[in-house]
């Protein structure tokens, strides 16, 4: 997939790929070009890891499935723009398990080859564009979707047009020889992305501190189905910190849910809640239990 990247990114991608493939047990696959938020998060979360750039989320997941990387670090949701598209569909189909999480404060700069006054369009990942939509609208700059943030910076360097800029993490400007035209584009200071760590097998070492369990389930499209399915979490005092619904296919006959609950399945209260969920749901799938990187309910 090297040729999928703009030309200025290819030497960096090739060098990182070679290093990661030579020591796959240390490789951490991520989606995007060097300099992307996922690259930054991978370096922070795994200090001795070797980040392996992948053009798509599916490719990053396949790198783990095929043994080219020990783990993948994948963005799941953002505090400003919600869940990352496609991840909820890719995760259950991947066969991988969630073994950890990481939170990254997100900061964006506008970068290009000319001046701010020249910019008519800004390219970036749809998540980044959504996180900066007010800044763009105020200045009349049109958003342009691109598969990732740092890759958009490489694209701008390749095109060389003053009218096209990129929204990317600040460090991408230096990587791709661009000028920083504006900083702090994100629409709120709390802008944070939650990443999950994916691996082929679960980490069976004891979890230190509070645990989080991520699961998926489906309920039939009948009255009170979700109310009954979730009743066990309330009666057993288990805190559910996330619940999202989505439809798979076009039948609209049943709804699937993606959820996070505090605790581990071997804790009695969580075990009872999961038993009740299984009784009322069509199916339940546990995606992983791991240490909380950030205590919920605390800013």
Residues serving a catalytic function are: 193, 195
Tokens (6 digits) for 243 = 């619940």
Q: In what order do the strands lie in the sheet with 121-124?
A: 142-145, 121-124, 164-168, 109-112, 179-183
Nearest in space to 18 (alpha carbons), one of 47, 51, 42, 43: 51
Cα separation of 219 and 199, whole Å? 28
- Phi/psi for 46 (5° steps) reads -130, 90
Closest C-alpha to 259, from 216, 288, 291: 216
Residues in the chain: 299
Q: DSSP 3-state assignment of 285?
A: strand
> How many Å apart are CA 85 and CA 232, to the nearest integer?
30
Helix (H, G, I), strand (E, B) or coil at 103: strand
- Whose tokens are 């970068």? That residue is 111
């Amino acid at each position: 997939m090297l040729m999928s990247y703009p030309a200025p990114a290819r030497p960096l991608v090739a060098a990182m790929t070679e290093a990661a493939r030579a020591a796959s047990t240390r490789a951490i696959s991520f989606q995007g070009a060097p300099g992307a938020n996922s690259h930054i998060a991978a370096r922070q979360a795994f200090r001795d890891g070797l980040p392996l750039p992948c053009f798509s989320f599916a490719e990053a997941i396949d790198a783990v499935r095929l043994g080219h990387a020990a783990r993948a670090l994948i963005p799941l949701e953002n505090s400003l723009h919600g869940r990352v598209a496609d991840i909820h569909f890719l995760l259950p189909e991947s066969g991988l398990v969630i073994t950890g999480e990481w939170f990254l404060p997100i900061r964006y700069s506008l970068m290009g080859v000319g001046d701010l006054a020249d910019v008519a369009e800004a390219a970036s990942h749809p998540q980044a564009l959504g996180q900066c939509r007010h800044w763009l609208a105020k200045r009349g700059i049109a958003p342009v979707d691109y598969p990732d943030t740092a890759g958009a910076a490489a694209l701008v360097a390749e095109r060389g047009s003053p009218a096209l800029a990129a929204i990317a993490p600040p460090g991408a400007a230096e990587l791709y020889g661009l000028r920083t035209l504006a900083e702090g584009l994100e629409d709120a200071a709390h802008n944070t992305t939650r990443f999950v760590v994916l691996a082929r097998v679960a980490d069976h070492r004891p979890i230190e501190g509070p645990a989080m369990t991520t699961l998926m389930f489906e309920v039939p499209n009948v009255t009170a189905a979700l109310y009954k399915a979730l009743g066990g979490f309330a009666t057993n005092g288990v805190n559910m910190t996330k619940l999202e619904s989505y439809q798979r296919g076009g039948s609209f006959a049943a709804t699937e849910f993606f959820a996070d609950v505090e605790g581990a399945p071997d804790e009695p209260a969580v075990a009872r809640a999961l038993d009740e969920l299984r009784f009322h749901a069509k199916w339940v799938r546990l995606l992983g239990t791991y240490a909380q990187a950030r205590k919920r309910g605390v800013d």
